[in-house]
Amino acid sequence: MLYDAVVIGAGPGGYVAAIKLGQRGKKVALVEKSFVGGTCTNWGCIPTKALLSSVHLYSEIVEKSRQLGVTVENVQCDFPAVRSHMNKVVTMSRKGIEYLLKKYNVELVSAEAVIESNSLVKAGETTLETKNIIIATGSYPSLIPPFDRVPGVWTSDDVFKMEKLPESILIVGGGVIGVEFATFFSTLKIPVTIVEVMDHILPTEDKDVAEVITKSLKKKGVQIYESSKVVGVEPIDDGFRCLIESKEGKIEKTAQKILVSVGRRPKIGEDVKALGLEIQRGIKTNTKMQTNIPNIYAVGDVRGQIMLAHVAMFEGVVAAKNICGEESHMDYSAVPSVIFSNPEVASVGLHEKDADPSQVKIFSFPLSANGRARTILEREGFAKVIADKNTLKVLGMTIVGPSATDMMMEGVVAVRNGLNAKDLEESIHPHPTLTETILGAIEGVVEMPIHL
């Protein structure tokens, strides 16, 4: 049997590509050696957000119920029940993907794939002949020295296997993964230490963003060491002793668990290397997602570029369209970044730290001036808009606050479509809503904000 495409890896990039091809009547095989959904569904986005949803509700009850006139006693967080919720969500997500694959006649092959040529893929004992191949094998967590020589150190993949909460945890890396897990554990009153090598946590975001999240984490008791690194790790009874090299000198810290969250690396097998594909950190592609072998495509984390599930999905769609004969190109101009900290963080387009001050207008509108925020007892955060100084074209947006990850779509549409700040200002925003913080920032770029 000749397939139109064989997709290797059923993560966000792979399963989306397979479904899109199936919807267009193509004969597709999707090869996956583990669970469908990949890292995102099984060890990343979905289980993390399930855990964070539980502790967010817990913190809302503990911190706000009295002020909101709701009497609640003996509030507790039942971790086995939280874990059960997480597992149920993961299972439902997997089943949803499996249903869609079946609906669109995608043949799911449960096996490890080995690419033998640009037209042959061996899946277990079966050899699949195909016109096109899409490589979507994803990535794996980096485990850097000295942690790679110490047994028992966690990566983000390991956290979801825990059957009970640690008594304390040291997190190496204050990026998105580190901050989200610090939010989870600290909300449950577990002592957390973050060690970040850069000047501030969330180093890809602006400093004002990091300051809000730092303040929130410290309020929960998190100890944060910036411009610091762990230079030594030693197992001790029921934990680890770490030597931290910080701005204040060397500090010794102990923790029951260590979580290393310093990024991920593309998962590229020897079979892929043997094909002669061009590799620069990850598999190199053009904007059509083609490799240097035209009928072999690569999407998602295996490219080693923007390692986000929503980017992988979009790349999967682009690859599928090109295989179907419709010329399609990836546009990375408006890729949103979302962080499920408390408060949440979202950004798109140009950041203030990367902008030329002489060429832009920047305005931040504080969450504390928003009516809806006051009703839900929220004060920490802001919406920031960056626009071209002369044309007022929206170049970037950052939001810190509740529901920031949902509200960011206004910024994505604006940046992606080159909208003018006046276009957004003249769009009526519903009242009272948190989206009015965006309106306030837009008004500040155009002229003056009314509510400040």
In whole angstroms, what is the distance from residue 357 CA to residue 366 CA?
A: 21
Burial of 280 (0-12, 13-18, 19+ CB in 10 A): exposed
Catalytic residue among 56, 351, 429, 431: 431
Q: Looking at this protein, which amino acid is placed at residue 143?
A: L
Q: Which tokens is 206 given?
A: 């602006």
Helix (H, G, I), strand (E, B) or coil at 33: coil
Degrees to nearest 5, angle at CA 141 with 28 and 121: 25
Provide the sign of the torsion angle of the four alpha carbons 10, 13, 14, 20, taken in this order: positive
User: From CA 53, how far away is CA 160, in angstroms rounded?
Assistant: 15
End-to-end C-alpha distance for the chain, whole angstroms: 67
Q: Distance (Å, rounded) from C-alpha 338 to C-alpha 290?
A: 28
DSSP assignment of 315-375 equals HHHHHHHHHTT-------TT--EEE-SSSEEEEEE--GGGS-TTTEEEEEEEGGG-HHHHH
User: Among 307, 224, 218, 272, which Cα is nearest to 12's?
Assistant: 307
Cα–Cα distance measured from residue 411 to residue 394, given in angstroms and rounded to the nearest whole number: 8
In sequence order, which residues have a C-beta less than 8 Å from that of residue 95 and are 6 or more positions away? none
Helical ranges in 261-301 per DSSP H:
270-274
Structure tokens at 54: 């539980």
How far is it, in rounded angstroms, from Cα 243 to Cα 258?
13
Report helix angle 12-23 to 79-103, nearest 10: 30
Helix (H, G, I), strand (E, B) or coil at 113: strand
Q: How far apart are CA 373 and CA 371, in angstroms?
A: 5
Could you tell me if 267 and 157 are in contact, meaning their C-beta atoms sit under 8 angstroms apart?
A: no
Active site residue 200: no
* 230: three-class secondary structure by DSSP: strand
CB 322, CB 5: distance < 8 Å: no
Q: How many CB atoms lie within 10 A of CB 378?
A: 18
Active site positions, annotated: 431
